[in-house]
């Protein structure tokens, strides 16, 4: 069964540095999402992306965050200047159409030092 | 805004017994989707079961079933014949109709322990 792939599985970054989290959604999927889960807390929506543009974003997704689909297969989340509170598990998800449940990747654990 | 509430931070069940995890949600929409996701210690997000709000019949997936009460905005998960591998965090999630929003809102989770 096709999977959503996320790399790296674990990213350690110094505070203030830029970080890019990468996702390869399932190939025929059209809608893409990023979620965040701070350790011990619930999964929170960050942003959704469709037709090469952001369709919705949460209050968490401020100017430090950006998303891109640079080459038709990768879907990236960039955090421009990381803060300690950005430490979390970041999940990418995708769906083909609105009737389907979201398929999640295995997540990237981001640790900010 | 839609909110999802899981009032049981932790639950435990004896192996082979049945357990029910509670979930309530708040929405003004009539068309939406509800999901239960399982998150084992590996922290993957695994879809357990889903329910379309327009369907009156409760979804069933092997040992997993839901009790969907639309008027009460309740969506509980029943796990029958619990197995050790069922131990995990369980998240209830809501997703609105496509034309309103298509992101998912999650509850705070219920940690399920299965005792041998």
Residues of A in CB contact (< 8 Å) with B are 31, 33, 35, 37, 41-45, 48, 55-56, 58, 89, 91, 93, 98, 101-104, 106-107, 109
Domain hosting A90: range is 5-112
Parallel, antiparallel or unpaired: strands A5-7 and A19-24: antiparallel
Q: pLDDT digit string (tens) for A43-95? A: 999 999 988 899 889 999 999 999 999 887 899 999 999 999 999 999 999 98
Per the CB < 8 A criterion, the answer to whether A54 and A63 are in contact is no
pLDDT at A61 (0 to 100): 95
Q: pLDDT digit string (tens) for B11-49? A: 999 999 999 999 999 988 888 999 999 999 888 899 999
Write the CATH number for B84.
2.60.40.10
User: Per the omega criterion (within 30 degrees of 0), is the bond before B31 cis?
Assistant: no
Q: For residues B99 and A98, which has the higher predicted lDDT (pLDDT)?
A: A98
Instruction: Give me the number of domains chain B comprises.
Output: 1
Q: pLDDT digit string (tens) for A17-27? A: 999 999 999 98
Residue B68 contacts A, CB cutoff 8 Å: no
Name the 3-class secondary structure at A104.
Answer: strand
Instruction: Give me the number of domains chain A comprises.
Output: 1
Predicted confidence band of residue B57 (pLDDT cuts 50, 70, 90): very high
Domain hosting B94: range is 3-98+105-115
Given an 8 Å threshold on Cβ–Cβ distance, is A37 in contact with B105?
no
Given an 8 Å threshold on Cβ–Cβ distance, is A106 in contact with B101?
no
Predicted confidence band of residue A41 (pLDDT cuts 50, 70, 90): confident
Given an 8 Å threshold on Cβ–Cβ distance, is B44 in contact with A107?
yes
Write the CATH number for A70.
2.60.40.10
Computed over every residue of chain B, the mean pLDDT equals 92
Predicted confidence band of residue B100 (pLDDT cuts 50, 70, 90): low
CA nearest to B30, candidates B74, B66, B58, B70: B70
């Amino acid at each position: 069964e096709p999977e959503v792939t996320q790399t790296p599985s674990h990213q350690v970054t110094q505070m203030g540095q830029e970080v890019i989290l990468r996702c390869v959604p399932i190939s025929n999927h059209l809608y893409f999402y990023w979620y965040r889960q701070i350790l011990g807390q619930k999964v929170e929506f960050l942003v959704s992306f469709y037709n090469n543009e952001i369709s919705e974003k949460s209050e968490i997704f401020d100017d430090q965050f950006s998303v891109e689909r640079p080459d038709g297969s990768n879907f990236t989340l960039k955090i421009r200047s990381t803060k300690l509170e950005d430490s979390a598990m970041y999940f990418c998800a995708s769906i083909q159409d609105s009737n389907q449940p979201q398929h999640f990747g295995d997540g990237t654990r981001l640790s900010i030092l | 805004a839609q909110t999802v509430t899981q009032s049981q931070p932790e639950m435990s069940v004896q192996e082979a017994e049945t357990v029910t995890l509670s979930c309530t949600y708040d929405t003004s929409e009539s068309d939406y989707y509800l999901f239960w996701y399982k998150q084992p210690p590996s922290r993957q997000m695994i879809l357990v079961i889903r329910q379309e709000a327009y369907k009156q019949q409760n979804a069933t997936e092997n040992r997993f079933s839901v009790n969907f009460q639309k008027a009460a905005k309740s969506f509980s998960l029943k796990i029958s014949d619990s197995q050790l591998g069922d131990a995990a965090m369980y998240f209830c999630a809501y997703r609105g109709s496509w034309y309103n929003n298509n992101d998912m809102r999650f509850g705070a989770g219920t940690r399920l322990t299965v005792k041998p």
